[in-house]
Structure 1
Amino acid sequence: MRDVMQTPDEETPYECFECGTVIVAEDDPGPCPECGSEMRNRQTPLE
């Protein structure tokens, strides 16, 4: 696994697990605005 450098002021891409919508935000955007499913930080590797 690789380490990801993140700063609180950095915009990060988040992707919806269900519909694939991508949002760029500084903080966790919460549920997907399109379908309401969980969003994931794309810079965090999936295990």
Structure 2
Amino acid sequence: MKDVQLDPDEESTYECFGCGTVVRAAAPGACPDCGANMRNRQTPIE
């Protein structure tokens, strides 16, 4: 598996763990809809 090089200032697609909202942002922090944590979709979940 190839390591992903992430640039924190580059916009990426993020998905909410709580409600599934998808946003495109540099670093969204919390979900704009429900406030839950977001994950970068480019980073694999193990």
Bin the TM-score by the shorter chain.
0.7 to 0.9
| Partner of residue 13, structure 1 | 13
The alignment covers a number of residue pairs equal to 46
Where does the alignment leave 5 or more consecutive residues of structure 2 unmatched? none
Structure 2 length-normalised TM = 0.80
- How does 1:16-31 map onto structure 2 within 5 Å? 16-26=16-26, 28-31=27-30
Which portions of structure 1, spanning 4 or more consecutive aligned residues, are displaced by more than 4 angstroms?
A: none
Structure 1 length-normalised TM = 0.79
Identity of aligned residues (%): 65
Q: Whole-Å Cα distance in 1 between the matches of residues 45 and 32 of structure 2?
A: 22
Change in CA separation of 1:8 and 1:37 when aligned onto 2, cut-off 3 Å:
closer
Shift of 1:14: 0.5
Q: Whole-Å Cα distance in 2 between the matches of residues 32 and 8 of structure 1?
A: 17
